[in-house]
Amino acid sequence: MTIRLAIKIDIDTEKGTREGVPGLLKLLDLYNIKATFLFSLGPDNTGRAIRRIFRPGFLKKVNRTSVLKVYGARTLLNGILWPGPHIARRHYGQMQEVRESGHEVGIHCYDHIRWQDGLEKMTMRQVREELERACSSFREVFKTEARTAGAAGWQANHFSFQAYDEAGFLYGSDCRGTTPFFPQVGQKVFRTLQIPTTLPTLDELMGRPNYPLENLAEHFVSLLQPSQLNVLTIHAELEGMLYKNWFEEFLKTCQAKRVEFVLLSDSAESLLSRGDSIPICKVVQSEIDGRSGTLALQGAQVK
């Protein structure tokens, strides 16, 4: 049975856009693979993430993932010692090259830190405004409307799902889960399809004694399920830079196993053409191993 895998690339920072994206484009082109690139489009205020120091598990993750090596001192001071650089204004040409190379492009966020650390406290109006800023920047870069978004830090709630419905996205990829679904929060069912990330991310496993880096490519491939759409989220700042060699090893291992690479947009269109088979599932806020804080998770099936 064919194993299908979609690669979703989250680009969180100005440095990831400037340095990580070009490396990923070259690598994916080498193996003739198309992926979904989701861009942070506004100011890079990465330094403000220091407020997470009080979140359980945050310091442990920082130590495991070599944050200083990955992001560099300048990025970690963005938004603190100087204004965060506006990513889309600086790197619109790089973003356009991604689409011109045949990859899918979409929205990750406007201000990554604001969305990831602040969504739960935002009003409906504030969520709409933040998403519209991202949509407006996307239109300026690509001269078209965005068809998808995947939330920073897998932070999603009833307000963000409502904003997605209003934006008319084809699908969203904001949750962790196992299968595509329509999200339900409380009694409200939202009409924008969710395609969740099904696999752990590299930074959730790396640095652990039971997951040595040299074995992680095989481990990730062993997690792929033939009975479902597998979705791997990578980061331009990790797999596109410091861990690019690891990512290439993973791609080689996938191709040796005859894994079929698919685009999320193609999968969404195929699923929506036979929409009666898509389940409705609750969305819950909970923790997952290897990541600090709570995330939006696919919960029990309702229908």
pLDDT, tens digit (0-9, with 9 covering 90-100), for 103-121: 999 999 999 999 999 999 9
The pLDDT assigned to 53 comes to 41
Per cent of the chain over pLDDT 90 is 81
The pLDDT assigned to 209 comes to 86
Q: What tokens were used for 114?
A: 């604001």
Mean pLDDT across 251-267: 97
Residue 57: pLDDT band (50, 70, 90) is very low
Mean pLDDT across 129-156: 98
Measuring CA to CA, which residue among 149, 161, 157, 164 is closest to residue 265? 149
Instruction: Write the CATH number for 246.
Output: 3.20.20.370
Q: Does residue 282 surpass a pLDDT of 90? A: yes
The pLDDT assigned to 77 comes to 55
Cβ proximity of 30 and 250 under 8 Å: no
DSSP letter string, the chain: ---EEEEEEEE-SHHIIIIIHHHHHHHHHHTT---EEEEE-SB--GGGGGGGGGSTTHHHHHHHHTHHHHHHHHHHTBTTTBPPPBHHHHHHHHHHHHHHTT-EEEEEESSHHHHHHHGGG--HHHHHHHHHHHHHHHHHHHSS---EE--GGG---HHHHHHHHHHT-SEE---B-SS-BEEEETTEEP-SEE--B-S--HHHHTT-TTS-HHHHHHHHHHT--TTSEEEEEEETTIIIIITHHHHHHHHHHHHHTTPEE--HHHHHHHHHTTGGGPPEEEEEEE--TTS-S-EEEEEEE--
Mean pLDDT across 275-287: 93
Cβ proximity of 140 and 91 under 8 Å: no
Residue 46: pLDDT band (50, 70, 90) is confident
State CA 38 to chain mean position distance: 7
Residue 59: pLDDT band (50, 70, 90) is very low
pTM: 0.91
Q: Does residue 239 surpass a pLDDT of 50? A: yes
Do the strands 280-286 and 295-301 form a parallel or antiparallel pair, or are they unpaired? antiparallel
Q: Does residue 64 surpass a pLDDT of 70? A: no
Q: Does residue 58 surpass a pLDDT of 50? A: no
How would you label 63-81 residue by residue, b for 16+ Cβ within 10 Å and e otherwise?
eebebeebbbeebbebbee
Mean pLDDT across 58-75: 51
pLDDT, tens digit (0-9, with 9 covering 90-100), for 82-107: 467 899 999 999 999 999 999 999 99
Q: State the chain's mean pLDDT as an integer.
A: 90
Mean pLDDT across 41-69: 57
φ/ψ of residue 7, rounded to 5? -105, 120
Number of domains in the chain: 1
Mean pLDDT across 264-273: 96
Structural domain boundaries, residue 169: 4-301
The pLDDT assigned to 78 comes to 54
Those residues with Cβ within 8 angstroms of residue 293's Cβ, 6 or more apart along the chain or in another chain: 52, 55, 57, 58, 153, 287
